[in-house]
C-alpha cells in the first residue's frame, strides 16, 4: 500500500464524520471506509450516525463533547493534532458541524471542511436568513474541499471566498478491482444492469421501474436489473410486484464487500438517474469494473461520464431512460468494449495513489 498519509502527517489530523463500519450505510461512511487504511494514524470521532434516533442523539451530543475534550487535552499536553478535518453534507449534518467548526477554530486549530453534499444548493436556497450563518462558516474554515469543479464554481458564486486557493477540488476515492480483471464476455443472455444506492425518489430508481414497465414489450428478455440498497425497500418490492417486473428486476438487499464486487463485475451497466448528487461513489466503483454508466448531468457526474463511457439523461425523463436502456441492450460487443475501456481509463484519477497524494498536499499546505 503505497498511497498513504504518513504517520508524521496523519498524527496531526483529527477526522470528524458519520459513524462507519463495514456495514454502515451512506456516502460519507463509504468515503471514510476507503480513507482509513491509507492513514498510518487514523484519529476519528463520530459526529453522528444515520440510523436509530437514540444512537443518533448520543453521537450528535457526545461527538462534540468528545472533540472538545480531545482538542483541549491535546493543547494542554502538547499533542500532535493541528488539523480538524470535518466531513459534512447538507441539512442537519451541516448545522451540526457548524458547532464543530466554531469550537475547533476557537481553540486555535486549522479546520478543513469537506463537503460531500448532493443537495447543498437546495439547502442553501431554502435557508433564507440562515444563509448568512452558512456563509460565515464556509468562509472561516482554512480549506473547503469539494468534489468537482462545478461545485467549486457554485460555492464561489454564492459568496464563498477562494482567496489563496481556499476551495480545493479533491476527487472521491475508489479502489481498483482486486486481482486480475476479466469482464465476462456475454454472448448469450440479457444485458445486466445494476443500481447501487439509497432506494427512494432522489436516486431515480422508481423512474427506472416506470420506464421498464412502460416499455416492457421492448425490454422483456433482453435485460435484467439488479438493485442493491436500503431505505424504502418495501415500496420497491411493492412496485416490482404491482408492475409484474419480477422476471426483469431483482432486489439484492444492501450489498457490500465480495457480493458487491461480484455484482459490479458481472453487470454491463450501472444506472443511477439521480435528481441531485455530489459525485457518487457507486459510479466510480462501477467505472473501475468497466461498466457503462447511465446517469444524469447533476453535480460532478458530467465530469466523469460523457458519450465515451455512458449516457446522460435528464432527471425524471422516463422516455430517455428507456432509450438509454435500449441502447445498452442493443450494443455490439465492440461498442460495449470501447465504452467499458473508457470507463476504466477515466476512473484512474480517483484511485488511492492519486487521491491520497492530493490530500497529503492539502494537509501540508494548511500546516
The whole-angstrom separation of Cα 336 and Cα 269 is 10
Tell the burial category of 227 from Cβ atoms under 10 Å away from its Cβ (0-12, 13-18, 19+).
Answer: buried
Q: Give the per-residue pLDDT at 54.
A: 47
Q: Give the per-residue pLDDT at 182.
A: 72
Contacts 24+ apart (CB under 8 A), 232-241: 232/199, 232/200, 233/199, 235/199, 235/206, 236/199, 236/205, 236/206, 236/209, 239/206, 239/209, 240/209
The whole-angstrom separation of Cα 299 and Cα 314 is 13
Number of H helices and number of E strands within the chain? 15, 12
Query: Can you read off the three cell numbers belonging to residue 115?
Result: 463537503
CB 147 within 8 A of CB 279: yes
User: Nearest-CA neighbor of 278 among 95, 151, 159?
Assistant: 151
Q: What is the DSSP letter of 263?
A: H
Percent over 90 (pLDDT), the chain:
78
Pairing outcome for strands 310-312 and 292-295: parallel
Segments in the chain below pLDDT 70: 1-2, 22-26, 49-60, 184-188
Tell the burial category of 80 from Cβ atoms under 10 Å away from its Cβ (0-12, 13-18, 19+).
Answer: middle
Q: What is the DSSP letter of 147?
A: S
Q: Give the per-residue pLDDT at 25.
A: 55
The whole-angstrom separation of Cα 196 and Cα 171 is 20
Query: Can you read off the three cell numbers belonging to residue 280?
Result: 457518487
Summarize pLDDT for 12-66 with one digit per residue, the tens.
Answer: 999 999 888 765 556 788 889 889 999 999 999 998 766 555 455 455 678 899 9
Instruction: Kindly list the strands in the beta sheet with 223-228, ordered across the sheet, starting from the edge strand earlier in the chain.
Output: 249-253, 223-228, 191-196, 269-272, 292-295, 310-312
Instruction: Kindly list the strands in the beta sheet with 13-18, ordered across the sheet, starting from the edge strand earlier in the chain.
Output: 43-48, 13-18, 83-88, 110-115, 143-146, 167-169
The whole-angstrom separation of Cα 279 and Cα 282 is 9
- Run of H or E residues at 85: strand 83-88
Summarize pLDDT for 343-353 with one digit per residue, the tens.
Answer: 999 999 999 99
Q: Give the per-residue pLDDT at 21.
A: 73
pTM: 0.82
- What contacts 239, CB < 8 A, 6 or more positions away? 206, 209, 245
Query: Can you read off the three cell numbers belonging to residue 310?
Result: 455512458
Query: Can you read off the three cell numbers belonging to residue 176?
Result: 481498483
Q: Give the per-residue pLDDT at 93.
A: 87
Q: What is the DSSP letter of 111?
A: E
Query: Can you read off the three cell numbers belonging to residue 168?
Result: 480545493
The whole-angstrom separation of Cα 38 and Cα 21 is 16
- Residue with cell string 439547502: 123
- Residue with cell string 492539502: 362
CB 142 within 8 A of CB 110: yes
Query: Can you read off the three cell numbers belonging to residue 282?
Result: 457507486
Contacts 24+ apart (CB under 8 A), 180-187: 181/289, 181/290, 183/265, 183/289, 183/290, 183/340, 184/265, 184/266, 185/333, 186/268, 187/333
Residues listed for the chain: 367
Amino acid at each position: 500500500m503505497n498511497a498513504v498519509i504518513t504517520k508524521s502527517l496523519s498524527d496531526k489530523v483529527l477526522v470528524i464524520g458519520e459513524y462507519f463500519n463495514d456495514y454502515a450505510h451512506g456516502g460519507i461512511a463509504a468515503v471514510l471506509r476507503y480513507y482509513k487504511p491509507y492513514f498510518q494514524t487514523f484519529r476519528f470521532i463520530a459526529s453522528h450516525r444515520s440510523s436509530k434516533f437514540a444512537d443518533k442523539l448520543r453521537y450528535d451530543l457526545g461527538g462534540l463533547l468528545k472533540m472538545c475534550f480531545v482538542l483541549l487535552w491535546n493543547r494542554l499536553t502538547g499533542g500532535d493534532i493541528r488539523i480538524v478535518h470535518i466531513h459534512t453534507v447538507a441539512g442537519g449534518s451541516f448545522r451540526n458541524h457548524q458547532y464543530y467548526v466554531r469550537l475547533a477554530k476557537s481553540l486555535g486549530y486549522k479546520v478543513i471542511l469537506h463537503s460531500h453534499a448532493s443537495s447543498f444548493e437546495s439547502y442553501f436556497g431554502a435557508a433564507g436568513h440562515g444563509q448568512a450563518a452558512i456563509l460565515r462558516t464556509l468562509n472561516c474554515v482554512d480549506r473547503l474541499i469539494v468534489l468537482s469543479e462545478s461545485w467549486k464554481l457554485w460555492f464561489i458564486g454564492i459568496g464563498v471566498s477562494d482567496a489563496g486557493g481556499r476551495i480545493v477540488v479533491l476527487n472521491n476515492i475508489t479502489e481498483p478491482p482486486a486481482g486480475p480483471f476479466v469482464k465476462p464476455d456475454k454472448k448469450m443472455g440479457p444485458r445486466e444492469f445494476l443500481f447501487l444506492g439509497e432506494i427512494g425518489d432522489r436516486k431515480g430508481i422508481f423512474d427506472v421501474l416506470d420506464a421498464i414497465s412502460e416499455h416492457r414489450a421492448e425490454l422483456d428478455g433482453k435485460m435484467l436489473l439488479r438493485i442493491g440498497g436500503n431505505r424504502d425497500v418495501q415500496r420497491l418490492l411493492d412496485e416490482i410486484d404491482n408492475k409484474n417486473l419480477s422476471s426483469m428486476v431483482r432486489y439484492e438487499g444492501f450489498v457490500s464487500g465480495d457480493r458487491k464486487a461480484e455484482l459490479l463485475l458481472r453487470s454491463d451497466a450501472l444506472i443511477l438517474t439521480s435528481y441531485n448528487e455530489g459525485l457518487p461513489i457507486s459510479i466510480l466503483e462501477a467505472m473501475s469494473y468497466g461498466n457503462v454508466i447511465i446517469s444524469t448531468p447533476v453535480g460532478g457526474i458530467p465530469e466523469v461520464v460523457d458519450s465515451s463511457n455512458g449516457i446522460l439523461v435528464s432527471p425524471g425523463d422516463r422516455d430517455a431512460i428507456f432509450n438509454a436502456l435500449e441502447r445498452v441492450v442493443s450494443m455490439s460487443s465492440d461498442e460495449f468494449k470501447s465504452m467499458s475501456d473508457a470507463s476504466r481509463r477515466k476512473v484512474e484519477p480517483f484511485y488511492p495513489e492519486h487521491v491520497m497524494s492530493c490530500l497529503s498536499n492539502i494537509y501540508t499546505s494548511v500546516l
